[in-house]
């Protein structure tokens, strides 16, 4: 059986230390049967090994590159290009937490961001934490949403390239967020997603009421959204890529064929099959075997 070992170095790296990985693998009797340069800082190694080799491959690679700032992924070679992407929004596709930025306009960012951090680390349940934070924003004027989007919300580097490239190759792309539809609708349009789902803030026409529509889209709802898309497309979980940074992304990340923790909390990085700590969202394309020549830059 063949496996892909993908190495992605950060933009400021001098080189990709593939020789270190090759040496470590060959020292364990594993054959490197191919090498492909995906980009200036991304390399694919093709490994020949037994059907049961995957559990020991990743620890070997991790140990080999432990002194380098390097993102790695080890997976079966076949089926790497996914037919469905389900992505978290806050701190994944965009570089902020929208609720925390709303709180900043209300003068409540320290209090609310502390709750956000605990929820994303999995220290407290997501749903009650969301209700608590939204309640603190009661009477916030609706124009704060527009000001937050216009001044605070920015796509993370590589977001448009990720979506455009996967869509060009026939994949469906969905933004599934524990945040709010006001933001997901706009971010999805800006990035090019096919669809988006999120929670709904309730207002009285002028101000937030401090309530969120039930049921809340949290960890289990994200997993349900992934499963629904799989069924609609007539594919399997192996055909999917899920990416996120917080504990409420864990269920969908663990169910997907390729689950990626993106600049994530430790609990997520430890559970995901791959973790992007240094690169931008283009790294998700390299993990699927796309080269720079195939990446669409809108």
Which member of 90, 100, 239, 280 is catalytic? Answer: 90
Residue in 10, 6, 15 with CA at minimum distance from that of residue 70:
10
Residue 134: name the closest of 157, 167, 100, 83 by CA.
100
Lateral strand order in the sheet of 195-199: 195-199, 172-180, 84-87, 240-244, 258-262, 274-276
DSSP annotation of 91 = I
User: What span, in angstroms and rounded, lies between the C-alpha atoms of 150 and 253?
Assistant: 30
Tokens of 240: 């999917």
Q: Which of 256, 255, 253 is nearest to 264 (CA)?
A: 253
Active-site residue, selected from the candidate residues 12, 51, 71, 88: 88
Give the Å distances, CA to CA, from 119 to 154, 178, 180: 22, 11, 16
Q: Is 192 in contact with 206 (CB distance < 8 Å)?
A: no
Q: Tokens 């455009």 appear where? A: 164
203, 181 contact by CB (below 8 A) = no
155 SS3 class: strand
Alpha-carbon 254 to chain mean position: 12
Q: Can you name the residues that pair with 46 across neighbouring β-strands?
A: 4, 34
Read off the DSSP letter of residue 24.
Answer: H
Asked if 90 is an active-site residue, the reply is yes
Catalytic residues: 88, 90
């Amino acid at each position: 059986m063949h496996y892909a070992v993908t190495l992605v170095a950060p933009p400021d790296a001098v080189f990709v230390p593939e020789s270190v990985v090759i040496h470590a693998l060959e020292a364990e009797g594993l054959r490197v049967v191919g090498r492909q340069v995906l980009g200036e800082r991304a390399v694919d190694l093709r490994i020949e090994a037994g059907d049961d080799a995957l559990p020991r491959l990743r620890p070997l690679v991790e140990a080999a590159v432990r002194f380098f700032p390097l993102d790695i992924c080890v997976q079966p070679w076949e089926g790497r290009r996914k037919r469905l992407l389900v992505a978290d929004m806050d701190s994944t596709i965009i570089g902020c937490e929208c609720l925390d930025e709303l709180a900043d306009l209300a003068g409540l960012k320290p209090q609310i961001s502390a709750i956000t951090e605990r929820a994303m680390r999995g220290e407290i349940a997501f749903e009650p934490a969301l209700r608590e934070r939204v309640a603190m924003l009661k009477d916030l004027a609706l124009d704060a949403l527009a000001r937050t989007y216009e001044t605070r919300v920015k796509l993370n580097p590589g977001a448009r390239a990720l979506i455009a490239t996967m869509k060009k190759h026939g994949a469906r792309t969905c933004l599934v967020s524990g945040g709010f539809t006001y933001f997901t609708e706009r971010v999805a349009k800006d990035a090019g997603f096919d669809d988006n789902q999120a929670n709904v803030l309730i207002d009285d026409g002028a101000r937030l009421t401090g309530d969120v529509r039930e049921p809340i889209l949290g960890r289990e709802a994200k997993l349900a959204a992934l499963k629904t898309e799989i069924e609609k497309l007539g594919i399997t979980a192996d055909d999917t890529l899920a990416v996120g940074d917080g504990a409420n992304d864990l269920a969908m990340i663990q169910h997907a064929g390729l689950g990626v923790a993106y600049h994530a909390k430790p609990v997520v990085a430890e559970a995901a099959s791959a973790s992007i700590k240094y690169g931008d969202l283009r790294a998700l394309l390299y993990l699927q075997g796309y080269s720079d020549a195939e990446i669409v830059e809108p």
